Structure 1
Amino acid sequence: MSTATAQPLHLSPASGWQPPALDESAVDVLYDDVVAASRDRRRGYSQPALRVVLNTGDVDPQFGPQATQTHLLPEPRAWLQRMAGALLECMTGVRSTNQIARWVSPLVAERVNARSVIAKRRGARPLHRSLVRRVHLCEPDDGVVEASVVVQHDGRVRAMALRMVGVDGRWIVTAMELG
């Protein structure tokens, strides 16, 4: 009969208390997982906000969402600077995503909410407030503004692309990309 001898336990020091930074592809994978999970949970659930879809046959032209001309809307540059800052605060978990729900399309709200969930899960808070450095506007059509925004966010200078459409007397962000 042989006797078993216990091997000594080797402990390695912890690598650090902060999680490693995620690259963009990992964030996209996490985002896709969160969106898929939220869609599965919402089956059988009535969405509290209405999706804004213009120019479709099933929308009543008198009582449905109405396109608004640019001259009847707030000045886009100043509005966009405030909105870009609010979107960044929402994506880092500093601001509630419910605060911007009225001014973004449901798809943009879903993306911002997913990034907010990831940021809250990581527990990281930005050291400095996000700063909007520069805004470049382009108006491809009346009531439509496309913008590229240069922001300083989490110690990095990044680009943000936004598309806004005038609906019912206010701007609504219908597309957003953060580089």
Structure 2
Amino acid sequence: MATTHPNFARAYRAADEAAELNQYFAPQRTSTADLPDPETFLRNISRGVLEIFAGVREVDQLARWLTEDAYRKLVTRANLAARARSARGIPAKRPVHQIVSVRHSSPADGIVEGVVIVRGPARTRAVALRLEGMDGRWRTTSLALL
């Protein structure tokens, strides 16, 4: 006859309590139908990212629309851009960009993957983004400047 060890039962209850807390306090998924059109968000977040790399906007201003992982990667990349400007003696100045096109698709409900093509004075770039609906708004979970 097997008996349950008291520590095992306590650990099992703790795991159940943690799962229940996550159900209420973790970021909640939001359906695409409950979110605004992603194209406007893609345009605005891309402009913000380009301004961060140019040194005229702080990363913290976009923190609300980024997940923690995307935020950390953006901070690292912004710091590298600032060091490169400093090494070349180039002051930060507001970039002049024209958004050429925005393309996006939805691989699943509440998820959008998009590419924003931006033409600048020196070159044309692409900003690739993955958005997920969390807590009633779009949040960027992945971002790459190509």
TM norm. shorter chain > 0.5? yes
3-state SS of 1:62 partner: helix
Give the letter for the 2:22 counterpart: D
The structure whose residues are more often helix, as a share, is 2
Residue of 50, 69, 81 corresponding to 1:88? 50
Q: TM-score if structure 2 supplies the norm length?
A: 0.76
3-state SS of 2:25 partner: coil
Tell me if 1:147 matches 2:114: yes
Tell me if 1:101 matches 2:68: no
Distance 2:72 2:33 in 1: 29
Task: Please provide the CA RMSD for this pair.
Answer: 2.1
Q: TM-score if structure 1 supplies the norm length?
A: 0.63
Identity of aligned residues (%): 35
Please list, as runs of the form range in 1=range in 2, the aligned pairs for 1:56-95 lying within 5 A after superposition: 60-95=22-57
Structure 2 equivalent of residue 164 of structure 1 = 131
Cα 1:155/1:59, change in 2 over 3 Å: farther
Detail structure 1 runs of 4+ shifted over 6 Å in the superposition.
none
Residue of 79, 92, 105 corresponding to 1:117? 79
Distance 1:80 1:128 in 2: 18
Q: Which runs of 5+ in 1 are unaligned?
A: 1-55
Q: What is the aligned length?
A: 124
